[in-house]
Amino acid sequence: MAVLIDANSDDKPLSKPSFSFVNEMFFAAHFRFFFLTQYFINIYVLVCLNVYDLLFSRFNHHHHHHRLTSAFHASMGWTI
């Protein structure tokens, strides 16, 4: 990578900034993927809790799932 940065520094003055830009984009994409993964894991957990609560509410007629569903929709920014 040092060769890529130092090669033709006089002829191509933009080679080093473009390399650092690609490097920054790589790390930005990595962190974005990490946060999106955590985001979808949270959604998956909420959906599983919703499904479990809906199935459990068939035997428990207090309808506790409405509170969890409304909290889920509020966290996603959806209107009920």
* pLDDT tens track for 42-79: 899 888 888 887 777 665 555 555 555 666 666 655 54
Give the model's confidence band at 28: pLDDT under 50 very low, under 70 low, under 90 confident, else very high. Answer: confident
- 65/71 Cα distance (integer angstroms): 10
Tell me 79's DSSP state.
-
> Can you give the pTM of this predicted structure?
0.33
- 27/31 Cα distance (integer angstroms): 6
CA 18, 24, 26: angle at the middle one, nearest 5? Answer: 105
